[in-house]
């Protein structure tokens, strides 16, 4: 039988390399064959087969240097085996055991390992591509001439994340190989229902990006083409789109089968099996002998069996509550930098700008990314003049690609750098929501990897900006374990808390109320200092009641109390919403016995509700009245000023305080 794949024998590849490619392809195939048996025996739960696609994983991985990052997907077992990840660790990972990579917290290939420079996927497929942008950006800024490869499928390539990541990579000339495995189907959906151009490679034109079509079943073509392109990208950094034509010969996952795939297509691709064809080729060339074949198989099967034994013999994980809770955030030793005594009266907006500038001076690996942040200085002028001081590499205008930029921030973090992303308006975080709540928030818990990213969130109403430029959407994020949420009300706090947020290796959403930017002044300490995250401030001492608030609503409270001189309230500014300073809250409530929690956001599901519930659960015996919440209407926030004033909870606050006093 002769191979159904044309191998170009002109390629001058050494015999040892030819055999190495074969052995490397054989390994994932033999592992998979074993896994399919274990699946039938009910010993593993789910399997996404990459049989028939091994040439792509192996060719790409072996063409890259070992310290170059690869971001694989769910069918790229070969990436892991070609990087020599110990098999028992993979088997433990799939069985949810401790020797895996996620302490049993995530399954299959949903993990990364810095040791092997492999960054695994989250289920959402597309965000992976933006992470590669960030990793590549860090490589570029370090000037290390490294390339990075990221995988996706023909299905994943339909996601907005694909568009955003390619667009950003092209605009920034990032050294990324975007590897699309076009295997004909995304679950049951054929490529013809997934996209409407002839080849996925055609999409490169739209991004101004070089692209190539490669026979993904031909290991020699994959390896030599990727090797050639990787060398070229190291010399001349740029993104390249690679479409690997291949086929998913088994079901999406083992349980789902392939009934929806016409038999003639399956037969066609079965004949183009990358391993069998290459084996034939090597035998015909006299390079692969029966002896070598047997020795490879014996060695690999022995390794599989030994490592399986290790994994099966490993104890099941015993849940430990404290470990689970503690691993949500990366442990971090807060370093207090005490403020200087010299102060200057400045606005809220100036304090944030000043804090950010000091952080840029302190951290040479800190990058600012955001729309219009460079020459224009950002729409609120926070980064005005930064470009001249810190240069274009560190103060980066971004395309309108929120999702890719959040993901890129994560990629920068993975590759050892820090970033602050300016969300132009907090409202637009909805366009970057997935990477915030799934990539950044869950990273440390899932695979012990930090997400050293701060997202600045200019937010809030009272400025006549309508439903899409006025929301205060902190509750979208406080509910997601793994994020820290900071929300200052005063310039001195804003400056110190921003410095701390940037020092903290965990992802921080930093809310800045735009109504405060130019209306609130304070004597603010000069120079660099930090303010601890997670500590509330007591603004007024009093005994009649506790009033708890944060952000602009703190100023509503102070204003109301100006007109209620006979009421002595203990006023707490939370400053941080996640983690919440419950000690300060409980201490005050136990002293006063009455509480109002005030938020600018609409009522249901907000911070006030949770603070109220915590007080009820923990301080019930001390309460002399029901906990009162003051918040805005259960409508979107309207534009016209009278409507907006009616919407905002501010107008109901004074009466609420009086009612509680009289209760
Ligand atoms: C955002 C998102 N939507 C839907 C899914 C469910 N899903 C998982 S894999 C998959 C098909 C992916 O197809 P493709 O990218 O072509 O990769 P393949 O499985 O063919 O290798 C789908 C629909 C998901 N994981 N994430």
Output the average pLDDT for the chain. 97
Nearest to 244 by CA among 156, 184, 296, 165: 184
Ligand 1 pocket, mutate which of 49, 153, 161, 244 (most atoms under 8 A from CB): 153
Whether 288 shows a pLDDT value over 60: the answer reads yes
pLDDT band (50, 70, 90) for residue 319? very high
Nearest to 597 by CA among 613, 617, 578: 613
Task: Give me the pLDDT at residue 255, please.
Answer: 86
126 Cα: distance to centroid of ligand 1 (angstroms): 9
Task: Give me the pLDDT at residue 184, please.
Answer: 97
Phi first, then psi: give them for residue 622, nearest 5 degrees.
-95, -5
180 Cα: distance to centroid of ligand 1 (angstroms): 13
pLDDT band (50, 70, 90) for residue 597? very high
Using alpha carbons only, give the angle 249, 279, 65 rounded to the nearest 5 degrees: 85
Distance CA 611, CA 617 (A): 10
Interval 528-580: pLDDT, tens: 999 999 999 999 999 999 999 999 999 999 999 999 999 999 999 999 999 99
Q: Which residue among the candidates 163, 469, 513, 555 is catalytic per the annotation? A: 469
pLDDT band (50, 70, 90) for residue 3? low
Distance CA 122, CA 106 (A): 10
Distance CA 90, CA 170 (A): 34
Task: Give me the pLDDT at residue 2, please.
Answer: 59
191 Cα: distance to centroid of ligand 1 (angstroms): 12
Least confident of 32-46, 86-100, 111-125, 203-217: 32-46
Interval 402-411: pLDDT, tens: 999 999 999 9
Task: Give me the pLDDT at residue 44, please.
Answer: 82
Task: Give me the pLDDT at residue 10, please.
Answer: 64
Q: Which atom of ligand 1 is nearest to the CA of 183?
A: 20
Task: Give me the pLDDT at residue 643, please.
Answer: 98
Ligand 1 pocket, mutate which of 71, 120, 187, 191 (most atoms under 8 A from CB): 187
Residue 469 known to be catalytic: yes
Q: Are 240 and 212 in contact, with CB atoms under 8 Å apart?
A: yes
Ligand 1: residues whose CB is within 6 Å?
75, 123-125, 152-156, 183, 185-187, 248, 252
125 Cα: distance to centroid of ligand 1 (angstroms): 7
Interval 332-375: pLDDT, tens: 999 999 999 999 999 999 999 999 999 999 999 999 999 999 99
Residue 391's Cβ-count burial label (10 Å; 0-12, 13-18, 19+) is exposed
> What is the sign, positive or negative, of the torsion defined by CA atoms of 80, 83, 84, 85?
negative
Whether 14 shows a pLDDT value over 80: the answer reads yes
43 Cα: distance to centroid of ligand 1 (angstroms): 25
Nearest CA to ligand 1 atom 12: 186
Whether 1 shows a pLDDT value over 70: the answer reads no
Rounded mean pLDDT, 419-437? 98
Nearest to 599 by CA among 572, 565, 563, 579: 572
Nearest to 554 by CA among 633, 491, 500: 491
Interval 549-558: pLDDT, tens: 999 999 999 9
Rounded mean pLDDT, 92-112? 96
Whether 627 shows a pLDDT value over 80: the answer reads yes
Nearest CA to ligand 1 atom 26: 124
Whether 45 shows a pLDDT value over 90: the answer reads no
User: For the chain, how far is it from start to end, CA to CA, in angstroms?
Assistant: 92
Nearest to 398 by CA among 427, 413, 419, 416: 419
Residue 118 DSSP one-character state: B
Q: Are 552 and 533 in contact, with CB atoms under 8 Å apart?
A: no
Whether 196 shows a pLDDT value over 90: the answer reads yes
- For 421-433, give one letter per residue: b (16+ CB within 10 A) or e: bbbbbbbbbebbb
3-state secondary structure of 245: strand
**Over the Cα atoms of the chain, what is R_g?**
28
């Amino acid at each position: 039988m002769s191979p159904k794949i044309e191998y170009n024998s002109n390629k001058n590849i050494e015999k040892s390399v030819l055999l190495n490619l074969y052995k490397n392809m054989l390994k994932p195939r033999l592992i998979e064959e074993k896994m399919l048996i274990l699946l039938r025996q009910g010993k593993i739960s789910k399997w996404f087969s990459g049989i028939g696609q091994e040439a792509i994983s192996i060719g790409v991985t072996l063409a890259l240097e070992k310290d170059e990052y690869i971001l694989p997907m769910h069918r790229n077992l070969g990436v892991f085996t070609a990087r020599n990840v110990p098999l028992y660790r993979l088997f433990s990972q799939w069985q949810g055991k401790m020797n895996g990579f996620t302490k049993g917290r995530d399954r299959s290939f949903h993990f990364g390992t810095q040791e092997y420079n492999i960054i695994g996927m989250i289920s959402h497929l597309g965000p992976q591509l933006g992470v590669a942008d960030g990793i590549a950006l860090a490589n570029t800024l370090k000037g290390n001439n490294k390339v990075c490869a990221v995988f996706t499928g023909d299905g994943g390539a339909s996601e907005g994340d694909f568009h955003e990541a390619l667009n950003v990579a092209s605009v920034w000339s990032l050294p990324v190989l975007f590897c699309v495995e076009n295997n004909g189907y995304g679950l049951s959906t054929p490529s013809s229902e997934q996209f409407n151009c002839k080849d996925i490679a055609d999409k490169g034109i739209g991004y101004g990006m070089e692209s190539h079509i490669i026979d993904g079943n031909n290991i020699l073509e994959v390896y030599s083409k990727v090797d050639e392109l990787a060398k070229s990208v190291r010399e001349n950094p740029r993104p390249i789109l690679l479409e690997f034509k291949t086929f998913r010969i088994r079901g999406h996952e083992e349980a789902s089968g392939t009934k929806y795939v016409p038999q003639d297509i399956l037969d066609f691709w079965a004949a183009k099996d990358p391993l069998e064809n290459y084996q034939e080729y090597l035998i015909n060339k006299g390079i692969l002998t029966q002896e070598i074949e047997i020795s490879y198989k014996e060695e690999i099967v022995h390794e599989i069996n030994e490592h399986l034994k290790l994994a099966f013999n490993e104890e099941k994980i015993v849940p430990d509550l404290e470990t689970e809770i503690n691993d949500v955030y990366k442990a971090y030793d807060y370093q207090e930098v005490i403020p200087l005594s010299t102060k200057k009266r400045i606005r809220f907006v100036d304090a944030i700008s000043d804090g950010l500038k000091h952080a840029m001076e302190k951290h040479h690996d800190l990058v600012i990314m955001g729309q219009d942040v460079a020459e224009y200085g950002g729409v609120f002028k926070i980064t005005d003049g930064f470009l001249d001081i810190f240069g274009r590499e560190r103060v980066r205008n971004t395309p309108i690609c929120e999702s890719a930029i959040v993901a890129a921030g994560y990629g920068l973090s993975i590759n050892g750098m820090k970033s602050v992303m300016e969300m132009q308006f907090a409202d637009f975080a909805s366009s970057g929501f997935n990477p915030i709540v799934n990539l950044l928030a869950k990273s440390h818990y899932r695979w012990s990897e930090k997400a050293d990213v701060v997202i600045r969130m200019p937010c809030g109403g009272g400025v006549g900006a309508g439903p899409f430029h006025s929301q205060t959407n902190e509750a979208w994020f406080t509910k997601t374990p793994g994020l820290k949420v900071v929300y200052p009300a005063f310039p001195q706090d804003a400056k110190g808390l921003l410095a701390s947020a940037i020092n903290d290796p965990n992802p921080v959403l930093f809310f800045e109320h735009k109504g405060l930017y130019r209306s609130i002044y304070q004597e603010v300490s000069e120079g660099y200092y930090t303010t601890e995250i997670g500590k509330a401030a007591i603004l007024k001492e009093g005994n009649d009641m506790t009033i708890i608030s944060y952000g602009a609503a703190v100023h509503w409270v102070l204003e109301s109390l100006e007109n209620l001189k006979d009421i002595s309230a203990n006023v707490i500014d939370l400053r941080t919403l996640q983690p919440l300073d419950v000690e300060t809250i409980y201490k005050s409530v136990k002293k006063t016995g009455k509480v109002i929690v005030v938020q600018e956001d609409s009522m249901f599901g907000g911070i006030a509700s949770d603070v109220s519930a915590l007080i009820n659960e923990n301080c019930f015996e001390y309460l002399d009245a029901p906990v009162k919440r003051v918040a805005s209407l259960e409508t979107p926030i309207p534009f016209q000023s009278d409507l907006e004033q009616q919407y905002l909870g501010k107008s109901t606050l004074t009466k609420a305080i009086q009612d509680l006093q009289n209760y």
